[in-house]
Amino acid sequence: MAIPSSPKNLSDDEFSAERVLTNWLKATVKFHAHYNALITLINEQRITLQLDAEQDKLYIGQCPTDSLLSLVLAMQGELENLVCDMDQLDSISQSASQQHFKKLIDHTQILNQLNRKAQIRLNLISHSSS
């Protein structure tokens, strides 16, 4: 049985590069949406923070604010790392090295991990603390 060719007659390397860039773009779009949602929630003046008398922690919904803030700081840190790495590249072209794509793969994995954590926090925020 013949192996189907890559879409648009791309070579395996180009197809891999296309897949890496597509995965990175999807992770980045989710990251942007999650980051903006978290920042908006943190900055909103209408949110009522409730004090847990046993632990002296502030909550938004069922999410401790310290957990939320540490996640936002981690997201900001990864964004800075990504910008720094991408600034080192003039542009991504067909001649981009495997090392550059490896960095994108690594960033994509970290973005996906942060996206999962952000989704969990957003779900906790949406549930009442009582």
Model confidence at 112: pLDDT above 70: yes
Average pLDDT over residues 84-101: 67
| Beta pairing, strands 50-52 & 57-60 | antiparallel
Q: What is the pLDDT of the chain when averaged over all its residues?
A: 78
More confident: 43 or 108: 108
Question: What pLDDT digit, counting tens, does each position of 27-70 carry?
Answer: 999 999 999 999 998 887 445 555 444 555 677 888 888 898 89
pLDDT value at residue 8: 47
pLDDT value at residue 89: 65
Phi-psi region of 56 (alpha: psi -120 to 50; beta: other; left: phi over 0): left
Place of tokens 């800075």: 80
